[in-house]
């Protein structure tokens, strides 16, 4: 996927970054599997999934099997692009290609994430 490197504050929060990293590798992941893989509580995962869903980066599907509701998460095309662009920018920064000119809005500012994590 060819994308323009760009930091995305929605993706950048640690839990959401890891969620996106996993979901880009699969078609979809079940809530319980994602929770266990991230080692977070149900409420934390729900919150992070909601942020990604509200941004249009993630689609949640709920199905009832044996009277139990199963929630599956799948990254949307926009989500995959946002994550790819974010990773590309991170790699660019690490490689030292990001030249921040004095007075540039990014100079002196840490990479900020949107929302709690």
Cβ distance to other proteins smaller for residue 43 or 68: 68
Is the separation of the CB atoms in 82 and 1 below 8 Å? no
Closest to 16 measured CA to CA, from 60, 48, 64, 58? 48
CA-to-CA distance for 109 and 76, rounded, in angstroms? 30
Least distance to other proteins from the beta carbon of 10, Å?
A: 14
Cβ distance to other proteins smaller for residue 36 or 116: 36
Least distance to other proteins from the beta carbon of 102, Å?
A: 5
Cβ distance to other proteins smaller for residue 3 or 22: 22
What the block records as the tokens of 92 is 């660019």
Please report, as ranges, the residues that interact with other proteins according to CB under 8 A.
12, 14, 17-19, 21-22, 25-30, 32-34, 36-38, 72, 87, 89-91, 93-94, 96, 98, 100-102, 106-111
CA-to-CA distance for 46 and 40, rounded, in angstroms? 10
Cβ distance to other proteins smaller for residue 35 or 47: 35
C-alpha atoms less than 13 angstroms from C-alpha of 22 in its C-beta half-sphere: 18
């Amino acid at each position: 996927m060819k994308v323009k490197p760009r930091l995305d504050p929605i993706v950048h929060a640690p839990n959401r970054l890891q969620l996106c990293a996993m979901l880009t590798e699969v078609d979809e992941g079940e809530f319980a599997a994602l929770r266990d893989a991230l080692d977070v509580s149900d409420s934390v995962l729900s919150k992070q999934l909601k942020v990604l869903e509200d941004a249009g980066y993630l689609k949640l599907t709920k199905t009832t099997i044996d009277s139990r509701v199963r929630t599956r998460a799948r990254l949307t095309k926009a989500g995959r692009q946002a994550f790819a662009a974010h990773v590309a920018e991170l790699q660019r920064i690490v490689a030292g290609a990001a030249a921040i000119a004095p007075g540039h809005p990014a100079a002196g500012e840490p990479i900020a994430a949107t929302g709690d994590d």
